[in-house]
């Protein structure tokens, strides 16, 4: 296995075309449960299995969302952002708090012009859903707002289309 990354609560390894995420038993169980549920809605990397404190899932080879928004065209950025909002809306309807969307730099990977949300170990059920609002906050942060403005992306129009 090849080491990929270390997070606050886990280490991630690449094993052929699969990711093996090693964390504590609770986080592994939580992430596995959420991936099973959310994969049914086309959200998250494909879940392959769980072994003790390890979660085995699809390796999402792509680029981080900020890098994608920096280098791609207005049209492609708008398409990806609309899909991100669609996934946030699904999470909100399911009453899921993703907890990572105010700064999703490491939590949304864009592969083949499609966003893939990753890292579900902290997800939980909530009555006060906020994924859409958190993602809006991210897009309204100074750096991202300026980036999108330079490309001509109109956030208000994007949200009403």
pLDDT, one tens digit per residue, over 143-160 is 999 999 999 999 888 877
Specify the pLDDT at position 105. Answer: 84
Q: Are residues 35 and 77 in the same domain?
A: no
Residues in the chain, pLDDT under 70: 161
Q: Are residues 38 and 77 in the same domain?
A: no
> Rounded to two decimals, what is the model's pTM?
0.93
Q: Are residues 24 and 51 in the same domain?
A: yes
Domain containing residue 51: 2-58
The residues facing 57 across adjacent strands are: 19, 47
Specify the pLDDT at position 161. Answer: 67
Neighbours of 8 (CB within 10 A): 7
pLDDT, one tens digit per residue, over 47-57 is 999 999 999 99
Q: Are residues 82 and 128 in the same domain?
A: yes
Q: Are residues 90 and 149 in the same domain?
A: yes
Q: Are residues 72 and 51 in the same domain?
A: no
Q: Are residues 93 and 130 in the same domain?
A: yes
79: nearest Cα among 104, 114, 109 = 114
Specify the pLDDT at position 103. Answer: 83
Tally of domains in the chain: 2
């Amino acid at each position: 296995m090849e080491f990929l990354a270390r997070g606050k609560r886990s280490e991630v390894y690449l094993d052929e075309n699969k990711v093996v995420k090693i964390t504590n038993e609770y986080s592994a169980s939580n992430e596995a449960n959420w991936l099973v549920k959310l994969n049914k809605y086309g959200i998250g990397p494909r879940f392959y299995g769980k072994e003790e404190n390890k979660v085995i899932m699809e390796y999402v080879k792509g680029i981080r969302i900020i890098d994608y928004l920096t280098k791609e065209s207005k049209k492609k950025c708008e398409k990806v952002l609309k899909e991100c909002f669609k996934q946030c809306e699904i999470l909100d309807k399911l009453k899921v708090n993703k907890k990572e969307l105010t700064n999703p730099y490491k939590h949304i990977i864009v592969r083949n012009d499609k966003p893939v949300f990753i890292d579900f170990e902290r997800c939980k059920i909530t009555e006060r859903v906020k994924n859409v609002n958190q993602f809006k906050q991210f897009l309204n942060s100074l750096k991202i707002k300026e980036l999108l403005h330079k490309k001509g992306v109109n956030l208000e129009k994007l949200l009403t289309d």
